[in-house]
């Protein structure tokens, strides 16, 4: 791993310095966080995904991570999640990876298994567990699985406790999905180990009450995630970046994982083959009465990211209400994180990186696709001239009205 440590200046802020991991160079430190779109059919990527994700590459993001992609059908959050459980899924994913790469972004993908939080409706239908009403509409619920037969919260279905044979099969499914992701051309593969999904649920004592070798003490609870990491690293080789999203704290009233537990796990994950720890939080339960979620403020995971960065050798990525270019660059400069990932902010403004360059540096349109920059440069000159003359978009109407 090589981190470019050039001194930042007005023209060359830390946000825009490159970062090289396993031979792959992120051209800058701002990327797009994985965000589920619930637009797939039977796991297949569509033109929607191509258009949606391509905007971010054209917008200048250094890394674009495809949404949580299921390693098996039961691992989908909803019926409409992307998948890589079948070789037939690779073709559509290859189109996405190729497009991102062609426009300057490192192509990334998040692999996931929703575990006991699977089989739900889309967020605009409250994200509630599927039931017989959904079955009548052609979207039947399925039996969820987890480390223990404990539901995610009140009125949630009880998952089937996975046997050791099922755990071994699941490890193989993770590795196969990662192999397919590599075949599709993704150079950054992230494992979703947060938000109460399968990997997280094995790690947390809130959801894992097993008494065999996959439960009990810390060594037992981290066993399955570490087996997954090692199997994936073996499947993808040494040249692809492997990241792992963590919930930095469980955020529950009684028990659960704290940041010190995640720092310890991050050390183990790094030793097993993970390069990047992506910091998030919460999600181990849907029970709001016992949920003490981290207060949402600007950069609200930065302290967690800083702790992991200070105590491990991993590259650290941070998400969580990162909205302002100055804020993002200072997080890199102050050693809170090595990479900042933006989700909803990028949805609102896919050109966020280009606008950040203009805000922090002297770059106007140098890094835009020339087909855009050649048109936007003259536009900016005209806008500046009009501003200097005092003319506004409403001047003409004010003249007509005699104002």
> What confidence category does residue 290 fall into, taking pLDDT thresholds of 50, 70 and 90?
low
The predicted-structure confidence for 56-75, as pLDDT tens digits, reads as follows 999 999 999 999 999 999 99
Does the pLDDT of residue 9 top 80, yes or no? no
Structure confidence at residue 291 (pLDDT): 62
The beta-strand segments (E) located in 62-146 are 63-70, 82-83, 106-112, 145-146
The helix or strand, by DSSP H or E, that contains position 317, with its residue range, turns out to be: strand 315-318
Structure confidence at residue 288 (pLDDT): 75
Share the mean pLDDT of the chain.
94
**Active-site position among 188, 197, 214, 224:** 197
- Domain regions of the chain by residue span: 2-368, 372-403
**Which of 115-119, 190-194, 387-391 comes out lowest in average pLDDT?**
387-391
Structure confidence at residue 268 (pLDDT): 99
Taking the C-alpha atoms of residue 301 and residue 311, their distance in angstroms, rounded to an integer, is 16
The verdict on whether 197 is a catalytic residue reads: yes
The CATH number of the domain covering residues in 2-368: 3.20.20.70
Beta-carbon count within 10 A of 267 CB: 16
List the Cα angle 188/240/78 in 5-degree steps. 40
Structure confidence at residue 382 (pLDDT): 95
Does the pLDDT of residue 8 top 60, yes or no? no
The predicted-structure confidence for 149-175, as pLDDT tens digits, reads as follows 999 999 999 999 999 999 999 999 999
- Structure tokens that stand for 371 in this block: 């087909």
In the block, which residue shows the tokens 């075949």? Answer: 183
Rg (CA), the chain: 22
**Which of 64-78, 84-98, 306-320, 352-366 comes out lowest in average pLDDT?**
352-366
The average pLDDT across 206-229 equals 98
CB 16 within 8 A of CB 7: no
CB 321 within 8 A of CB 346: no
For 17, 49, 52, 188, the CA distances from 41, given in Å and listed in that order, are 38, 12, 16, 24
This prediction's pTM: 0.94
4 vs 79, residue with greater confidence: 79
The predicted-structure confidence for 327-349, as pLDDT tens digits, reads as follows 999 999 999 999 999 999 999 99
The helix or strand, by DSSP H or E, that contains position 161, with its residue range, turns out to be: strand 160-161
Structure confidence at residue 252 (pLDDT): 86
Does the pLDDT of residue 2 top 50, yes or no? no
Phi/psi of residue 191, nearest 5 degrees: -100, 130
For 2, 225, 239, 329, 342, the CA distances from 21, given in Å and listed in that order, are 6, 22, 9, 20, 20
């Amino acid at each position: 791993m090589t981190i470019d440590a050039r001194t930042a200046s007005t023209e060359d802020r830390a946000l825009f310095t490159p970062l090289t991991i396993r031979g792959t160079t992120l051209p800058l430190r701002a990327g797009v966080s994985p965000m589920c779109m619930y637009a797939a059919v039977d796991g297949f990527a569509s033109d929607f995904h191509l258009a949606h994700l391509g905007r971010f590459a054209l917008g200048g993001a250094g890394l674009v991570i495809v949404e949580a992609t299921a390693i098996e059908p039961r691992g989908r959050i909803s019926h409409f999640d992307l998948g890589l459980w079948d070789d037939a899924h690779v073709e559509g994913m290859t189109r996405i990876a190729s497009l991102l790469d062609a426009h300057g972004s490192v192509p990334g993908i998040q692999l996931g298994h929703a575990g006991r939080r699977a089989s739900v409706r889309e967020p605009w239908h409250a994200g509630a567990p599927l039931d017989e009403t959904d079955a009548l509409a052609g979207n039947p619920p399925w039996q969820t699985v987890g480390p223990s037969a404990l539901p995610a919260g009140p009125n949630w279905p009880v998952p089937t406790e996975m046997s050791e044979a099922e755990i071994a099969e699941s490890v193989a499914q993770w590795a196969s999905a990662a192999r397919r992701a590599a075949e599709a051309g993704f150079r950054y593969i992230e494992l979703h180990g947060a938000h109460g999904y399968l990997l997280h649920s094995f790690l947390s004592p809130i959801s894992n009450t097993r008494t065999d070798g996959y439960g009990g003490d810390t060594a037992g609870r981290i066993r399955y995630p570490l087996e997954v990491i090692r199997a994936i690293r073996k499947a993808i080789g040494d040249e692809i970046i492997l990241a792992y999203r963590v919930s930095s704290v469980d955020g529950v009233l009684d028990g659960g994982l704290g940041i010190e537990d995640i720092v310890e796990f991050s050390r183990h994950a790094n030793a097993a083959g993970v390069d990047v720890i992506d910091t998030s939080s919460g999600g181990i339960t849907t029970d709001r009465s016992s949920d003490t979620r981290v207060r949402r403020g600007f950069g609200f995971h930065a302290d967690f990211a800083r702790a992991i960065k200070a105590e491990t050798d991993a590259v650290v990525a941070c998400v969580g209400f990162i909205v302002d270019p100055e804020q993002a660059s200072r997080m890199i400069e102050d050693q809170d994180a090595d990479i900042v990932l933006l989700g909803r902010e990028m949805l609102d403004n896919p050109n966020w990186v280009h606008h950040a360059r203009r805000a922090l540096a002297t770059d106007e349109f140098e890094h835009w696709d020339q087909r855009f920059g050649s048109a936007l440069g003259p536009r900016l000159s005209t806008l500046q001239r009009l501003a200097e003359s005092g003319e506004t978009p409403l001047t003409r109407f004010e003249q007509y009205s005699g104002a």
